[in-house]
């Protein structure tokens, strides 16, 4: 009897093991995220399998470096390779600037075909914080979009934030626990809320005790978030206009306890930060970051709120106008401007020294209805 029982158990175990092995192969086949050096926004329609990738209008369409984020185990291949393609760089130079890609699930059973359209675009000058990417399910990712007209190309921007870095701390149980979130009670419609958060035991272990809520034009490199956090924030995209001022509305309330390296500091109060930079970039690989944004010799114009001008208010919105000022006498060269040799960045933070992990947990900055005033 024991032998029969053992044999039955062995057969049952093998069957279960076989089922587990079969189920381990993922059947998902999709493109979850599309990003790249020139990409300012990627709209993915999961139903129609169409991706509209908006790139800056000065981009080289023959060398588009695209990164596709896929489900576990899935692979992707371009349907019809051409001479200009490499492993991750694709040639979209021929009209209508469209290519087809096939995604294959890990189990090989599913092979949807996606159409990827590359569309030239430029940065907007109005920012309302009304839209979130639907593909970002864990935390809020803001974007701005103004469709093309007969006179103008599309104006698009996908904002960046430190939310992907905060995810590493494990302190967020839902979207609203992240430092950068969308709220409905804006100055007009929705707004962005930035709050300095405690990073918990993980943050203390890596000596990054707080995470300021931030939002900026540029890119966030999560792979550098722990080893070189200030260089993980890269500011600016190509801009073809001469900015005069940055206008908008804000509310700010400082947190109760200001800390440095996790230690409370008496007599010190937190401040928020709002600024914009315009700097020279001979090619698209040049980016100013959290280390050099204020001291780079490429910085031409700076507009920044002064600490003494910050008004604390939990209920009332305050209007601000920040004028761009020359840095060390540098000026915009009109020819370089027309050729896309300048980048513009806007940075918002709930703690002015949050990049150095100095600030007060609970410091909260709301911002809405930003506008860049530019020369005609």
At residue 224 the predicted structure's pLDDT band, cuts being 50, 70 and 90, is confident
pLDDT of residue 22: 53
Q: What letters, b where the CB count within 10 A reaches 16 and e where it falls short, cover 180-189?
A: bbbeeebbee
At residue 13 the predicted structure's pLDDT band, cuts being 50, 70 and 90, is low
DSSP code string of 27-63: ------EEEETTEEEEEEETTTTEEEEEEETT--TTS
What is the rounded CA–CA span in Å between residue 88 and residue 99? 14
At residue 58 the predicted structure's pLDDT band, cuts being 50, 70 and 90, is confident
Q: Please determine, for residue 85, whether its predicted confidence score (pLDDT) is greater than 80.
A: yes
Q: Provide the 3-class DSSP secondary structure of residue 180.
A: strand
Choose the most confident range, by mean pLDDT, from 57-71, 215-229, 326-340.
Answer: 326-340
Task: Tell me which of 225 and 289 has the higher pLDDT.
Answer: 289
Task: Give the residue extent of every domain in the chain.
Answer: 33-121, 123-374
Token pair 């302190």: residue: 171
**Global pTM value:** 0.87
CATH code 2.60.120.890 for 123-374:
yes
In CATH, the number for domain 33-121 is 2.60.40.2340
Q: Please determine, for residue 103, whether its predicted confidence score (pLDDT) is greater than 80.
A: yes
Q: Please determine, for residue 71, whether its predicted confidence score (pLDDT) is greater than 60.
A: yes
Mean pLDDT, rounded, of the chain: 92
pLDDT of residue 223: 85
At residue 33 the predicted structure's pLDDT band, cuts being 50, 70 and 90, is confident
- Pairing type for strands 154-158 and 113-122 reads parallel
Q: Please determine, for residue 371, whether its predicted confidence score (pLDDT) is greater than 90.
A: yes
Mean pLDDT for the stretch of residues 107-130: 97
Q: pLDDT tens digits, residue range 242-301?
A: 999 999 999 999 999 999 999 999 999 999 999 999 999 998 889 999 999 999 999 999
At residue 376 the predicted structure's pLDDT band, cuts being 50, 70 and 90, is confident
pLDDT of residue 328: 97
């Amino acid at each position: 009897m024991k032998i029969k029982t053992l044999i039955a158990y062995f057969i049952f175990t093998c069957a279960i093991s076989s089922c587990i092995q079969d189920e381990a192969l993922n059947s998902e086949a999709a493109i979850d995220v599309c990003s790249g050096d020139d990409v300012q926004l990627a709209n993915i329609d999961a139903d129609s399998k169409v991706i509209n990738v908006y790139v800056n209008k000065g981009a080289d369409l023959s060398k588009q470096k695209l990164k596709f984020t896929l489900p576990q185990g899935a692979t992707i291949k371009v349907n019809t390779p051409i001479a200009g393609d490499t492993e991750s760089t694709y040639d979209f130079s021929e009209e209508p600037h469209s290519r087809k890609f096939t995604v294959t699930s890990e189990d090989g059973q599913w092979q949807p075909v996606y159409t990827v359209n590359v569309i030239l675009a430029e940065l907007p000058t109005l920012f309302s914080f009304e839209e979130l990417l639907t593909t970002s399910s864990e935390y809020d990712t803001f974007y701005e979009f103004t469709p093309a007209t007969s006179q103008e190309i599309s104006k698009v921007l996908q904002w960046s934030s430190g939310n992907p870095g905060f995810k590493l701390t494990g302190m967020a149980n839902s979207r609203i626990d992240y430092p950068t979130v969308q709220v409905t009670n804006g100055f007009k419609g929705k707004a962005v809320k930035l709050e300095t958060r405690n990073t918990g035991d993980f943050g203390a272990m890596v000596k990054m005790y707080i995470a300021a809520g931030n939002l900026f034009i540029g890119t966030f490199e999560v792979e550098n978030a722990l080893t070189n956090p200030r260089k993980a924030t890269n500011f600016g995209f190509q801009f073809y206009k001469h900015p005069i001022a940055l206008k908008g509305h804000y509310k700010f309330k400082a947190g109760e306890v200001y800390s440095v390296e996790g230690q409370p500091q008496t007599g010190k109060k937190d401040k928020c930060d709002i600024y914009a930079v315009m700097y020279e970039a001979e090619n698209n690989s040049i980016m100013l970051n959290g280390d050099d944004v204020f001291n780079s010799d490429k910085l031409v114009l700076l507009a920044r709120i002064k600490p003494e001008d910050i008004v604390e208010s939990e209920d009332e919105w305050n209007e601000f106008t920040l004028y761009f000022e020359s840095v060390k006498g540098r000026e915009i060269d009109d020819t370089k401007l027309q050729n896309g040799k300048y980048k513009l960045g806007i940075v918002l933070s709930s703690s002015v020294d949050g990049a150095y992990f100095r600030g007060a947990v609970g410091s909260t900055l709301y911002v809405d209805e930003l506008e860049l005033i530019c020369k005609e």
